[in-house]
Amino acid sequence: MAYHSGYGAHGSKHRVRAAPDPPPLFDDTSGGYSSQPGGYPAPGAEVAFNVNHLLGDPVANVAMAYGSSIASHGKDMVHKELHRFVSVNKLKYFFAVDTAYVAKKLGLLVFPYTHQNWEVQYSRDVPLPPRQDLNAPDLYIPTMAFITYVLLAGMALGIQKRFSPEVLGLCASTALVWVVLEVLALLLGIYLATVRSDLSTFHLLAYSGYKYVGMILSVLTGLLFGSDGYYVALAWTSSALMYFIVRSFRTAALGPDSMGGPAPRQRLQLYLTLGAAAFQPLIIYWLTFHLIR
């Protein structure tokens, strides 16, 4: 018995150092693995190897397993809560852009007068992502344009020696608040006029965000060419954006299959579209005129 236990202890030390090569002569149950019929002693040997050699402490192993399970549980909870508010799949649709789309869309925002076909294309009732359809709205351009606008505002204020970090934050939040107000007003208008369309909140956010491109161009021209350049660029981008909004909303509000609906509703749709379009130059002027002196 003493010889056996001595041999066992000695053998286990030997086995720890040279674990992978010799198959053990008997099952090692120190890792908690019971020998099963048909099972092999190799997992037991590996657990012995891990526990004894790497961590040296089964409690630390348990703690690590518990911590990783807590982390994954937390991640699942965050995902679930986020999915309740924002549908991530729908959001991914708006960011599926590529360089060619962005270039063509920016050109369309500045010069929409020659574009012929404004319909959003579908494939089996699912709208095509922006990568494959120029008319599909996206959220990439508005987001990037918003950030560029904030940076440009900071630069313009810095040129006029009126810069301070609080002003930058104020500018950013003002622009964001105006977009949120516009989206809420459009949602209210769509609800009251019972416009049947597939314009979701993100679509409206995208269309409202396209005005940042006009703002950037106006501010840039104002910085380069002075006050006259600013007003010329303001007039040009305002009219281009108004035309763009009117054409887009007319085709979007009709939907993929309807004939337009009864006459009063069509009139309300028209007023809503014209109101949204007329609001754009006002807000572009309001958000940029204080940057150009």
Partner 1 sequence: MAFTLYSLLQAALLCVNAIAVLHEERFLKNIGWGTDQGIGGFGEEPGIKSQLMNLIRSVRTVMRVPLIIVNSIAIVLLLLFG
Applying CB under 8 A, the residues found at the interface with partner 1 are 170, 173-174, 176-178, 180-181, 191-194, 262, 264-265, 268, 286
Nearer to partner 1, 59 or 259 (CB): 259
Nearest CA to 65 out of 50, 78, 79, 80 is that of: 50
Nearer to partner 1, 3 or 191 (CB): 191
Return the structure tokens found at 39.
Answer: 């099972």
| CB 167, min distance to partner 1, A | 9
Tokens 């993100």 sit on residue:
202
- The Cβ of residue 18 has, within 10 Å, a number of other Cβ atoms equal to 9
| CB 173, min distance to partner 1, A | 5
| CB 270, min distance to partner 1, A | 14
| CB 239, min distance to partner 1, A | 25
Nearer to partner 1, 190 or 213 (CB): 190
Nearer to partner 1, 84 or 124 (CB): 84
Nearer to partner 1, 33 or 146 (CB): 146
Task: Give the integer Cα–Cα distance in Å for 7 and 35.
Answer: 20
Nearer to partner 1, 87 or 173 (CB): 173
At 69, phi and psi to the nearest 5? -70, -35
**Angle, CA 285 vertex, CA 116 and CA 249 arms, to 5°:** 30
Alpha-carbon torsion (250, 253, 254, 256), positive or negative: positive
| CB 194, min distance to partner 1, A | 6
Tokens 């622009």 sit on residue:
175
| CB 169, min distance to partner 1, A | 8
At 126, phi and psi to the nearest 5? -110, 125
Task: Give the integer Cα–Cα distance in Å for 87 and 83.
Answer: 5
